[in-house]
Amino acid sequence: MNHALLVKSIGKFIDEKIRAESGRLILDCKELLGFAGGASIALAFIPQIWRLFKLKSAREISLPFTSLFLLGAVCWLSYGVVLKLLPVILWNAIGATEICAVLYAKLKYGR
């Protein structure tokens, strides 16, 4: 899926969620739970990424794990786009980006 299509899908979904009369974003409890869970998982990667680039060492990072995790994030992202699940789209897009950073560090510093 190309980047422009993803952005367009997210924009369309957000537009559908906004009430025309009030202009407020409407989220139910399930979506809030999805946002909270996704945010905590996405935030969990930040210290690891910071450490990888600070120490310039990624020997302890497993390449198969990182590759499979990236594949899973891309599958979840696609699932979220198909079902128009904003929390799934948002956090898996961020997660996939973070996993790409880990994979880059592994390939650059991990030998």
pLDDT confidence tier of residue 21, bands split at 50, 70 and 90: very low
19 occurs within a structural domain: no
What confidence tens digit (pLDDT) does each residue in 25-36 have?
Answer: 666 777 788 888
What would the mean pLDDT of 46-73 be, rounded to a whole number?
94
pTM, whole model, 2 decimals?
0.72
Distances (CA, A) of 50 to 27, 43, 44: 32, 11, 11
Q: 101: burial class by Cβ within 10 Å (0-12, 13-18, 19+)?
A: middle
Indicate the number of domains in the chain: 1
Q: What percent of the chain has pLDDT over 90?
A: 56
17 occurs within a structural domain: no
pLDDT confidence tier of residue 2, bands split at 50, 70 and 90: low
CATH code for the domain in which residue 92 is found: 1.20.1280.290
34 occurs within a structural domain: yes
